[in-house]
Structure 1
């Protein structure tokens, strides 16, 4: 049975897993599944396919949980929040628009933060409001 409590550590574990998923799929360093696939001589390598299927499973879990808990509007609001933070960083010249590698890393971290928030949102909402989210109903 799942633990009923939710903590900052629980959120950080979800975010770490989201970071692993996002950065394993693609990152500017050149060490990702995308780079492995594009650099492979034989594109139908079973290990590349296995890694791709595992990544796809992770993406489906995170994206579906985010879509169900935050919804379309909530996801847009989360992206708007993080997008505004990036805009402020650019506006106050804390980062340069010409530094595409840094911007890519920031976007990947934001994407993982939105997904971690989405997968944690039911717990966060219950903590803030005392309301439970119920998706499955028993129908007799």
Structure 2
């Protein structure tokens, strides 16, 4: 259940930032930055904090190679679904949602990997600790 919650928050973070509908930060910010500049900056900073949390945890747990590998696995899965005729990639809206899905899975797996690794191997990840 924990992974699903992490994935939902990652998906929400990415979809709030940009999606093919008119309900996203990028479009809202571009429309209202001249009249709502403080609110636009605040919303952007809140999104940035979310990205920093997810990206830092992801980079620390699986690294760049892990992120590329997960992206490749999800991308290949989409390729197989396309090749089997189960999805169509001709609609840019669907492609954008697939990209958001892919990136959110990468972030959710990165945030959850330390927990999965600990359960599978019994080994805990230890961050750098400053010793006096």
TM-score normalised to structure 2 length: 0.93
Tell me the distance in 2 between the aligned counterparts of 1:137 and 1:39. Answer: 45
Tell me the distance in 2 between the aligned counterparts of 1:108 and 1:63. Answer: 15
Secondary structure at the counterpart of residue 27 of structure 1 = coil
Tell me the distance in 2 between the aligned counterparts of 1:36 and 1:88. Answer: 35
Deviation at 1:137, TM superposition (A): 2.5
Unaligned runs of 5+ in 1: 1-8
TM-score normalised to structure 1 length: 0.88
Aligned CA-pair RMSD? 1.4
Residue 39 (structure 1) aligned with residue 31 (structure 2)? yes
Residue 85 (structure 1) aligned with residue 96 (structure 2)? no
Conservation of the 8 A alpha-carbon contact between 2:61 and 2:114: yes
Conservation of the 8 A alpha-carbon contact between 2:33 and 2:40: no
Residue in structure 2 matched with residue 4 of structure 1 by the alignment: none
Identify which of 58, 61, 73 aligns with 1:66. 58
